[in-house]
Amino acid sequence: ALPIYHTADANSLVGSETSWADRVRAEWSFHTYTRGWGDIGYNYLIDPNGVIYEGRAGGDNAVGFHDTANYGSMGVSVLGTYSSLAPTQAAQNSLVELLAWKADQRQIDPLGSSYYYGCAYSSYCAPYNSGAVVVNIAGHRQVTPGHTTCPGDSFQSLLPTIRQRVQNRISETAVVQSMELVSVSYDRDTLAAGELLKATFTVRNSGHVTIETQAPQAGNFELSDSYVYDEDECFLGATGQSYPSYPKESNRFRVMLGTSDSSRMPVCNGDSGGYPWRWGLNGSLAPGETRQVVGYLRFREPGSVTLRAGAINEYVSYMARDVFAKTITVTGERMTPVVASYNAQLQPLAYVYRLSTIPDNLLARTQNAISILPGNLVGSFAWDGAITNWGAGGPLAGLDDNFIIMQARVFVAPVSGVYTFRTTSDDGSWLWVDGAAVVINSGLHASESIAGSISLTAGRHVLSFKYVERTGTAVAGYQVQFPGTSDFNPVAEGLGGSGVTIDSNLGGTFRKLGGITIAADDQGGSGINKLRVSFDGVVWADVPGSFFSLSNLSDGSYSLRYKAVDNQGNESALQTLSFQVDSTLQVHQIYLPFLVQS
- How confident is the chain (598 residues) per 10-residue block, as mean pLDDT? 92 94 95 92 94 88 76 89 94 94 89 82 81 88 88 93 91 72 95 91 91 87 76 84 82 93 85 91 94 92 93 89 94 92 97 90 85 92 97 91 96 97 97 97 95 97 97 96 96 93 92 94 94 89 95 90 95 95 73 52
Which pTM value belongs to this model?
0.66
Contacts within 8 Å (CB) and 24+ apart, 285-288: 285/179, 285/203, 285/205, 285/210, 285/211, 285/213, 285/253, 286/205, 286/210, 287/205, 287/207, 287/208, 287/209, 287/210, 288/204, 288/205
End residue of a domain, out of 128, 147, 171? 171
Task: With respect to residue 591, please indicate whether it lies within any of the assigned structural domains.
Answer: no
The pLDDT, as a whole number, for residue 7 is: 94
Q: Are residues 419 and 505 in the same domain?
A: yes
Instruction: Give the chain's domain count.
Output: 3
Residue 381 to residue 14: CA distance in whole angstroms: 93
Task: With respect to residue 590, please indicate whether it lies within any of the assigned structural domains.
Answer: no
Q: Provide the edge-to-edge strand list for the sheet that holds 556-566.
A: 505-506, 509-510, 575-581, 556-566, 528-534, 541-544
Residue 42 to residue 74: CA distance in whole angstroms: 8
Domain of residue 296 covers: 179-331
Contact 56, 41 (CB under 8 A): yes
Question: Helix 153-171 to helix 89-106 angle, to the nearest 10 degrees?
Answer: 50
End residue of a domain, out of 331, 358, 389? 331
How far the first Cα of the chain sits from its last, in Å, is 88
The pLDDT, as a whole number, for residue 224 is: 63
Q: Is 92 helix (H, G, I), strand (E, B) or coil?
A: helix
Q: Are residues 305 and 438 in the same domain?
A: no
Residue 68 is part of a domain; what is its CATH number? Answer: 3.40.80.10
Q: Are residues 263 and 389 in the same domain?
A: no
Among 275, 335, 355, 337, smallest CA distance to 311 is for: 275
The pLDDT, as a whole number, for residue 301 is: 86
Q: Are residues 344 and 196 in the same domain?
A: no
End residue of a domain, out of 155, 171, 187? 171
Q: Are residues 417 and 475 in the same domain?
A: yes
Contact 136, 164 (CB under 8 A): no
Residue 441 is part of a domain; what is its CATH number? Answer: 2.60.120.380
Task: With respect to residue 589, please indicate whether it lies within any of the assigned structural domains.
Answer: no
Residue 429's CB is within 10 A of a number of other CB atoms, namely 27
